[in-house]
Amino acid sequence: MIAYYIKLYLLTLVAFFAIDMVWLGLIARNFYQHHLGFLLRSSPNWTAAIIFYLLFVLGILVFVVVPGLQAGSARKTLLLGAFFGIITYATYDLTNLATVKDWPWIVTVVDIAWGCVLAASVGFAGYMAGRWLQ
């Protein structure tokens, strides 16, 4: 049983990296540079980024994939994933909008939408991986 969850976690992590890297590296790269360039580091803090990725994927497994698999429902997985993404990304972005001087509202809107799409997509990939592993 533990081996199943380790494999499920690793497969979901791969899906997360693949999807998020396309977003960050290709689609939204110029968007963030344009709107947040004044705040961006010259290179990411990889330790912080890796910790976020590991925790975020764990959250997707616990709150999205496992409940979806238990229900045997891709639809439930997608809905839970979308909700998880909205809540987690809204926590970050709305806090920044409330506390960081000159934080662009458009970044908040785009980021929350992306969190919804990302978590739903990764959750669905994890759900499909879980069914395949069974």
Spatial neighbors of 28 by CB under 8 A, at least 6 apart, are 110, 114
Q: What is the mean pLDDT of residues 57-62?
A: 98
- Residue 2's pLDDT band (cuts 50, 70, 90): very high
pLDDT digits (tens, 9 = 90+) for 6-43: 999 999 999 999 999 999 888 998 999 999 998 988 88
Tokens of 121: 């997509």
Domain boundaries, the chain: 2-133
Cα–Cα distance measured from residue 63 to residue 33, given in angstroms and rounded to the nearest whole number: 32
pLDDT digits (tens, 9 = 90+) for 102-133: 999 999 999 999 999 999 999 999 999 999 99
Residue 121: the pLDDT is 98
